[in-house]
Amino acid sequence: MSDFEDNDDASTKAIVETDLKNGLTNQEYQARLNQWGKNEVDCPAVNKCTLFISQFIGIMQLVLLVCACLSAAFGDFADFGIIIGLVLVNGLLGYQEEAKALAALDELTSHITSSVTCIRDSASSSVTVDTLVPGDVILLVGGTQVPADVIHRSGDVLSVDTAALTGEPIPRKYPGEHGVRVMMGCTVCEGEAYCQVVATGVNTETGRASKDVYEDKTKHVVSLFEVKIMRVVYSVIVFSVSIVFIQFMIQGFLRDQFSGFASRYEKLVVNSLAIIVASIPIALPLVMHVTMAIGIRELALTHRAVVTSVPALQDVASMSVLCSDKTGTLTTAKITIIDDKVVHTAAFDKSDVLLYAAAAANADKLGDPIDSAILRAMPSPHTPEGGWTQDKLIGFTPIVKRTVAYCTNPEGKEVVIAKGILSKVVDTSSGGNDNAPLQWKVTQGSEEVKSIEAADFELSKSGYKTIAIAVSFDAGTTFSLVGVLPMLDPPREDTARTIEFLHLANVSVKMITGDHRNIAIETGRLVGLGTDIRGASECRDDTQESMDRIWNADGFAQVLPSDKRHVIKVIRHHYGCVIGMTGDGVNDAPALSAAQVGIAVEGATDAAKNAAAIILTDPGLAPVFGAVCMSREIFRKVKSYVVYRIACSIYIVLTLCVLIFVSACSVDSVLIVLLALLNDLSMLPIAHDKVSASRNPEIPRVMNIVVRSAFFGVAATAIGMLYFYTINPMGGSSVYTLPFYNVRLQFFCSIQTSATIWLFMTILSESLIFSVRVPHNWFFTKPYPSIYLLGSVFMTDVIFSVLAGVWKNMFLADILITWAFAIGGFLFVDCAKMLFFVKLLGEDSGETISFEEFSEGAPQHPESEAKQDADPEAAGAEVERVRAKEARLSNHGRHTLEGSDREGHKEVSKNGFLAKIGLSGRIARFHRAHMFHTHRESTNVHYHNSGGVASPNKED
């Protein structure tokens, strides 16, 4: 049978076996190079000119530039300067962010690749791995990273570390039970063999993963939340322009302002432009950037997590499903002896099993996971204190499947210890005779041996790997079975509790691993995750039945990198959930980049880090729960600001247009622009505000934002109209004795009138933030606003009051009464909010979560108690766990995305030329492109930049 028949890859079937002595001829090499190309993945170049121009392309930017040009055309150079300054600052800041990342990317120009011995034209030579083609014969030795997908042709049995692709901590043997094909990215631990390349570049499993990751990470994207926000912003801009256009036409035709003095027409145009400018939340990208930057810093300081993609941090708030790799993420990635499950025969006890196993272990084999696990459970007795000596050691081979150690105990007696698989330790002829010098069958009776074998079988069913120990006190003539050591990669100490709290936050956790299904089931049981673990073959097709299995499963086992990516895509696209993925290996990279929230855990490979959006530097999943809490808090802060700012836009546009239309009274255009600008800047401290994180995922809903914004905007407008047209005297005589009797909107519009309108709008709009930030309760409800927000709002109101008095000659009494009525109006709006949203619509704040509760060690919930074998109510706890799971899945159904929103992050432009909105996308794009390059060397794939930037990575 051909070596290629165990693989169904089309590229593999097309390759015939190459003669090992001669290798490929030069003609064959050139033909295959032309057919398959180099062992590389192309990277597109980036143009700095288009990068700079793109900063000033977008709806917000274009509207502002048009307004600036019109202001200059009509002589309003003050407004022109303010608007142009804002556009330039925003654009230059964005370009600077991206140019820095691009410069870092350009530094990666040195061509660093690994080399390997290759036979071509009957001669061996060292070639760079990017020149390999299918059919090449290469020599792999211990310590070499496999440069392409290869098959074993001749030489030693290779011991290969496949953890990067499978997550298994124990090396595999090739050829062996896993076949002859070794995939790129694995590392040869022991052995020396000639292998034939069968796939290169993007045709390998790792290469396909690299291509998927690069395509994912080099798209320019913005978060779903930002997309939703910008939809609302655009709607408000269209609404504002429409309203302003209507009043403009009415003023022009009905009030004849298109004719007569040119100054009247110019004033009409300038005032209309000022209202449009005021309706645009100019500082929205800046506020979002500051809020996100503070969140990123707090996440780094509190949880030691590095955020490389701002959109992903925003989407953590919406995450309802988290897929997690097992090895190194849920577990310690260290094979460990499980003391309480050690099995021993009648003549020995547990301490004997551990002692003899430690005596037979090789303390110098630091990289051997089994001996290392034994010596962690029982320190080596081969010390002066222990009194043992190891005189001779016969190592493990795939044929004998055991090691034999000749030792001397503290009494000076010779002890021969056998350590290996149970069948070969019980009877060395099991499975066929071998050529080992010692052959035996243990002295225990068949009943006792059967009992040990049954216990070993149960352990293997539960996912434990086992090592049997036998001992001889007569120089190896007879052996007695001592017992069996069970080994498992144990869960991290905080894994079960973190999963419990993530479930409490309505985030379902699903294990996804390349390890054996039995091992995954046992791990799921130990951490309280559940035991409904599906094999990869059950979930690979696109039938509804298969997708339902993915949705309901607690985890997946024996998966390839492509399987992990498939699971992510099904949950994301078919079920509409915002999904996260945690992992640490090359095998996790495709899934990490496919998820909206990719999280590389502590100790992750470069490939995983570069595919991820968040990198954890502390072990365990606890920082993930911290990120969920913090992201949901950030979501509420940003949402509060967005609702507030859009409400202010509606308030400003409606109020000024009504005043112009009804009373022909306008506010100076400079004051309007200042109102909008300082209104934005005064809200920057909202990034430091105190909020609570919701227990439910935060899904951005456009209609919810629009309704809330419209409510506050219309309510504030109504309060303003009440003040301007009811409380203020309308008559022209001096019989009115109120301090502000000179304010008469209906008959004339003085400087003081304009100042009164401006100051009232300022104080009421500034105060609205305190009602908006607590959407389902009274404004004075905990958590109270931060001192920074209180101080900023108060100082802004004071500054505007001083300007109104000094600059616009407004009387002090008028200022004080305006303050009083604006604060009274704010209280009325807050009461109306409670009546409309809470009483009539029945909205409530819901339960909250906090990382402090997690840190303080809250009591376990019933669903997590099922993992305790000794619990007499384990069966009842399992029922509660299943019910809790069903409740979470039902909750997910209420927090899914619709239609195109299921794509999560939105690709704005493949070539980077089209509009980019908001700073988050700007920061993320090239930073991710730069970070991705560290993935290249770890996979031994040479990358080529079509713009002249060649890029295998230097150590970052």
Under the banding of pLDDT at 50, 70 and 90, the label for residue 897 is confident
State the DSSP code for 343.
E
- 481-486 mean pLDDT: 96
- Residue 684 DSSP symbol: G
Would you say 693 and 633 are in contact if contact means Cβ atoms under 8 Å apart? yes
Q: What is the pLDDT of residues 213-258, one digit of tens each?
A: 655 555 555 666 777 777 788 888 888 888 888 888 877 776 666 6
Handedness of CA 877, 878, 883, 886 (dihedral sign): positive
> Angle, nearest 10°, between helix axes 262-279 and 59-73?
160
- For 648-694, what is each residue's pLDDT tens digit? 989 988 888 888 877 777 787 778 877 877 777 788 788 788 888 88
- Binned at pLDDT 50, 70 and 90, residue 868 comes out as very low
Closest of 891, 916, 914 to residue 310, by C-alpha = 916
Give long-range contacts, CB 8 A cutoff, 24+ apart: 108-112.
108/930, 108/933, 108/949, 108/951, 108/952, 108/953, 108/954, 109/949, 109/950, 109/951, 110/950, 110/952, 110/954, 111/942, 111/950, 111/952, 112/937, 112/952, 112/953, 112/954
How does strand 465-472 pair with strand 597-600? unpaired
Whole-number pLDDT of residue 113: 57
Q: 552 falls in which pLDDT band (50, 70, 90)? A: very high
Contact 764, 780 (CB under 8 A): no
20 vs 14, 23, 193, 344, CA distance in Å? Answer: 18, 6, 11, 50
Q: Is the pLDDT of residue 477 over 60?
A: yes
Return the bridge partners of 859, or none.
none
Asked whether the predicted pLDDT for residue 831 surpasses 90, the reply is: yes
pLDDT for 87 equals 74
Question: pLDDT over 90 for what percent of the chain?
Answer: 25
Q: Name the pLDDT band for 262 (thresholds 50, 70, 90).
A: low
Band (118; pLDDT cuts 50, 70, 90): very high
Contacts of 741 (CB under 8 A, 6+ apart): 729, 734
pLDDT score recorded for residue 41: 61
Q: Name which of 220-224, 365-369, 494-498, 902-906 the model is least confident about.
A: 902-906
Mean pLDDT of 28-54: 76
pLDDT band at residue 334 under the 50/70/90 scheme? confident
- pLDDT, one tens digit per residue, over 60-85 is 667 677 777 766 776 667 667 777 77
The mean of the pLDDT values for the chain is: 78
472-476, 606-610, 708-712, 861-865 — which is least confidently predicted? 861-865
CA distance 56 to 164: 43
144 vs 830: which has the higher pLDDT: 830
pLDDT band at 398 (very low <50, low <70, confident <90, very high): confident
What element of type H or E holds 89? helix 77-106
Whether residue 116 is predicted with pLDDT greater than 50 in this model: the reply is yes
**Which band of pLDDT confidence, cut at 50, 70 and 90, is reported for residue 591?**
confident
Q: pTM higher than 0.75 for the full model?
A: no
Q: What are 149-163's pLDDT values in tens digits?
A: 999 999 888 988 887
pLDDT digits (tens, 9 = 90+) for 425-437: 999 988 788 888 8
Q: Which of 45-54, 409-418, 444-453 has the lowest mean pLDDT?
A: 45-54
Q: What is the pLDDT of residue 713?
A: 94
